[in-house]
């Protein structure tokens, strides 16, 4: 019994070590990803830089997904091992027989008498527990109760960007601040938009208040919004400056022969509500702009905020 208890204790002690190794691997992968240089030689090579950064995102999330999956498999091996020890311990514990079972059971077992000096070494009236007296353990009774301490050490993860489910009129973003270069990166990964007809769309982002910086994205087909993957970079911004800032997002649709832009969606997200030091994604609900004239009139009446 002591051997089983020692093995069970060793298995329990191994779980925090695996968790610590997983955190160290995630930290090193994060630092490796932060060190990826992105240069902007000129406007002609900007699209190529965007594609390289999107590929870096895919590689980063794939490595994180594989690492977490391997660690979860290792964590999954510890619980069955502990359960096995519990089952063995329960199986070796004799079960007390009821009075009815004792009456039905024939007294055919023998037991050595405790009296060492006695000439009769066997006591026919006293029986020892047989195999049928042992406590049976069902295959579904693992001995690992729901209130066990190990339940709280197995968190649930989102392995990749695609694991997040989007509702209608929502956009998935990743907002991250690069401390060494004082740059803020905003990546639009996916969007679920509802337009009356097909066309080309593009996004405008500006940093509030007072329109600190404005960025305009490239026009894409509406069908490609499910895999948008476009980056916007705001420069010369320290993390202290961003504590009171917000990002306004506007999505336009090009209509007609002259590709006149019409504002369709808008949203504002405060950076204080987002962990900009991590690469976790954020799901943002978009507001549909139905009346263009009313919307532009309201913008002209405002004294602060907004991006044209």
Domain CATH number, residue 188: 2.60.40.150
- Specify whether the CB–CB gap between 283 and 172 falls below 8 A: yes
| Same-domain pairing of 46 and 121 | no
Domain tally for the chain?
3
| Same-domain pairing of 175 and 296 | yes
pLDDT at 114: 45
| Same-domain pairing of 125 and 176 | no
Domain presence at residue 275: yes
What span, in angstroms and rounded, lies between the C-alpha atoms of 224 and 222?
Answer: 5
What span, in angstroms and rounded, lies between the C-alpha atoms of 207 and 175?
Answer: 13
Share of the chain above pLDDT 90, in %: 16
Domain presence at residue 158: no
Q: Where are the alpha helices (DSSP H) in 92-162?
A: 99-104
| Same-domain pairing of 272 and 186 | yes
Structure tokens at 160: 């990749």
Domain presence at residue 143: no
* Total Cβ atoms within 10 A of residue 293: 7
| Same-domain pairing of 73 and 127 | no
pLDDT at 20: 77
Determine the structural domain holding residue 111 and report its residue range. 99-133
Q: Torsion over CA of 292, 294, 297 and 298, rounded to 10 degrees?
A: -110
Q: Is it the case that residue 70 has pLDDT exceeding 90? A: no
| Same-domain pairing of 113 and 177 | no
235-289 confidence digits (pLDDT tens): 999 988 898 899 999 999 887 777 788 898 999 999 988 888 888 888 989 998 8
Give whichever of 43-47, 70-74, 78-82, 221-225 has the largest mean pLDDT.
221-225
Domain presence at residue 138: no
Domain presence at residue 139: no
pLDDT at 159: 44
| Same-domain pairing of 10 and 31 | yes
Q: Is it the case that residue 52 has pLDDT exceeding 90? A: no
């Amino acid at each position: 019994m002591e051997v089983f208890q020692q093995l069970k204790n060793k298995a329990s002690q191994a779980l925090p070590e695996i968790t610590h190794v997983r955190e160290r691997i995630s930290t090193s992968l994060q630092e490796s990803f932060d060190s990826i240089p992105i240069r902007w030689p000129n406007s002609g090579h900007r699209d190529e830089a965007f594609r390289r950064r999107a590929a870096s995102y895919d590689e980063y999330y794939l490595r994180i997904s594989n690492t977490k999956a391997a660690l979860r498999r290792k964590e999954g091996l510890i619980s069955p091992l502990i359960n096995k020890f519990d089952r063995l311990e329960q199986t070796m514990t004799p079960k007390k027989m009821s009075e009815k079972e004792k009456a039905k059971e024939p007294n055919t077992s023998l037991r050595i008498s405790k009296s060492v000096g006695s000439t009769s070494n066997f006591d026919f009236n006293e029986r020892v527990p047989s195999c049928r007296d042992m406590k049976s353990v069902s295959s579904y009774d693992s001995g690992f109760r729901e209130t066990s301490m190990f339940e709280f050490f197995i968190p649930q993860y989102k392995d990749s960007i695609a694991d997040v489910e989007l509702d209608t009129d929502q956009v998935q973003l990743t907002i991250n601040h690069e401390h060494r270069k004082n740059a803020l990166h905003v990546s639009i990964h996916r969007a679920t938009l509802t337009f009356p007809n097909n066309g080309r769309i593009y996004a405008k982002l500006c940093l509030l208040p007072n329109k600190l910086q404005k960025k305009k994205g490239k026009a894409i087909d509406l069908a490609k919004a499910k895999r948008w993957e476009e980056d916007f970079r705001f420069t010369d911004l320290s993390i202290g400056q961003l504590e009171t800032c917000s990002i306004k997002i506007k999505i336009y649709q090009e209509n007609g022969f002259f590709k006149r832009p019409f504002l369709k969606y808008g949203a504002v997200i405060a950076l204080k509500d987002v962990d900009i030091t991590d690469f976790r994604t954020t799901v943002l609900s978009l507001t549909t702009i139905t009346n263009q004239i009313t919307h532009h009139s309201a913008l002209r009446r405002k004294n602060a905020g907004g991006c044209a």
